[in-house]
C-alpha cells in the first residue's frame, strides 16, 4: 500500500514539513483553482488581482464575497486532521500552506505559515484597522459594497492578491532549507514563489513526496508520487503509524 512508503520516509526523516494547496480543502467543499472544476475554469484570475481591486472594488467584492460565503460553512476534512495529528506525533514540524481558508488551524495544526494570507480577516486599506470577515460579509449582504472603514478607507480581505508579494516567504524558505522531507498535498505547484518551497527542500538535499489527484508542474523532482485523494491517503498514514506504535508498545 502506498501509505507504507510515506510512513517509511516520514519515520526516517528528522525535520519533515507539509506544503499544502487547494486540493487538501476540496473535500471540505472549497473548490480548487486548476482542477477539473477549478475556480479559474469559471472565473478570470484577474478578479483576484490587486489591479482589479483598485479599479473596481465593488466588482472585486461581488466575486470575493461569493468565495467568502463558502468559507464559513466549510469544516476541516480528514486530511487536515491527519496533518494536525502528524504534527502532534512530532512527525511534521510545520504546515506551509497556500490556502486562505484557515482549516489547518481549525483542525488543530499549530505551526502554520499562510503564504497567501487568510480570508478570515479583513483590514482597512487606509488606517489598517482589522475586521472579522463575518462582519464584513454581513455588511455586504446588507448592500454596503464596497465595505468602508469608519475612517472612509475601503476594506479588503487579508489575502495576497495577484500582483502582491506573498507573506513570510523568507521564513518559509529558511524552514524549507532545513527540512529533509516535504509532504506536498493538493497543489498543482504552478504558482511562484510558493512553489519554491518543495524545490528548495530538494535543492538542499531533502526528499519530496507529492500527494495530488493530477500531474503537477514539479512531478519531476518527486521521490514519491501518490496519485490519490489527500483525504484518503493521509488518514491511512496516521492510522498505520498508530497501529505500528500500538503493536510495539503491546
Ligand atoms: N486530493 C488530492 N489532490 C487534489 C484533491 C484531493 N482531494 N482535489 C484536488 N486536487 C488537486 C488538483 O488535481 C490540483 O492539481 O489539487 C491541485 C490543486 O491545484 P490548484 O487548483 O492549482 O491549487 P493551488 O496549487 O493551491 O494554487 C496555488 O494559485 O490561484 C492561486 O492563490 C491561489 O493559492 C492558490 C495558488
Query: Which of 80, 104, 116, 170 does the annotation list as catalytic?
Result: 116
> Residue 157's beta-bridge partner residues?
122
Residue-wise pLDDT for 150-177, tens only, equals 999 999 999 999 999 999 999 999 999 9
Measured in whole angstroms, the distance separating CA 238 from the mean position of its chain's CA atoms is 20
Cis omega (within 30 of 0) on the bond before 228? no
The strand ranges marked E within the chain are 16-20, 95-97, 112-114, 117-124, 130-132, 155-159, 181-185, 207-211, 224-226
The pTM score is 0.97
Q: Which atom of ligand 1 is nearest to the CA of 162?
A: 32
Q: Which atom of ligand 1 is nearest to the CA of 99?
A: 34
Pairing of strands 207-211, 181-185: parallel
CA separation (Å) from 148 to 12, 153, 233? Answer: 52, 6, 44
> Residue 240's beta-bridge partner residues?
none
Establish how many alpha carbons lie within 13 A of residue 70's alpha carbon, considering only the half-sphere containing its beta carbon.
15
Cα–ligand 1 centroid distance for 188 (angstroms): 5
Please list every protein residue whose CB sits less than 6 Å from any atom of ligand 1.
Answer: 21-23, 26-27, 32-35, 38, 98, 116, 186-188, 190-191, 212-214, 229-231
116 is catalytic: yes
Residue-wise pLDDT for 188-232, tens only, equals 999 999 999 999 999 999 999 999 999 999 999 999 999 999 999
120 vs 159: CA distance, rounded Å: 9
Amino acid at each position: 500500500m502506498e501509505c507504507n512508503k510515506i510512513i517509511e520516509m516520514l519515520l526516517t526523516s528528522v525535520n519533515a514539513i507539509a506544503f499544502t494547496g487547494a486540493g487538501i480543502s476540496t473535500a471540505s467543499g472549497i473548490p480548487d483553482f486548476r482542477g477539473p472544476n477549478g475556480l479559474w475554469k469559471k472565473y478570470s484570475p484577474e478578479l483576484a488581482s490587486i489591479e482589479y481591486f483598485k479599479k473596481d472594488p465593488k466588482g472585486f467584492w461581488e466575486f470575493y464575497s461569493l468565495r467568502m460565503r463558502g468559507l464559513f460553512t466549510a469544516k476541516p476534512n480528514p486530511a487536515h486532521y491527519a496533518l494536525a495529528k502528524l504534527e502532534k506525533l512530532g512527525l511534521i514540524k510545520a504546515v506551509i500552506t497556500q490556502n486562505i481558508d484557515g482549516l489547518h488551524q481549525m483542525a488543530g495544526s499549530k505551526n502554520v505559515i499562510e503564504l497567501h494570507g487568510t480570508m478570515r480577516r479583513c483590514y482597512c486599506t487606509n488606517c489598517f484597522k482589522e475586521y472579522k470577515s463575518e462582519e464584513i460579509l454581513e455588511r455586504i449582504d446588507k448592500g454596503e459594497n464596497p465595505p468602508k472603514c469608519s475612517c472612509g478607507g475601503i476594506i479588503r480581505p487579508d489575502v495576497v492578491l495577484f500582483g502582491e508579494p506573498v507573506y513570510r516567504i523568507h521564513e518559509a524558505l529558511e524552514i524549507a532549507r532545513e527540512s529533509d522531507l516535504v509532504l506536498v498535498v493538493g497543489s498543482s505547484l504552478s504558482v511562484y514563489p510558493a512553489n519554491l518551497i518543495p524545490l528548495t527542500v530538494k535543492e538542499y538535499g531533502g526528499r519530496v513526496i507529492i500527494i495530488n489527484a493530477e500531474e503537477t508542474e514539479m512531478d519531476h523532482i518527486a521521490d514519491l508520487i501518490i496519485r490519490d485523494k489527500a483525504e484518503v491517503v493521509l488518514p491511512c498514514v496516521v492510522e498505520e503509524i498508530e497501529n505500528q506504535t500500538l503493536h510495539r508498545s503491546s
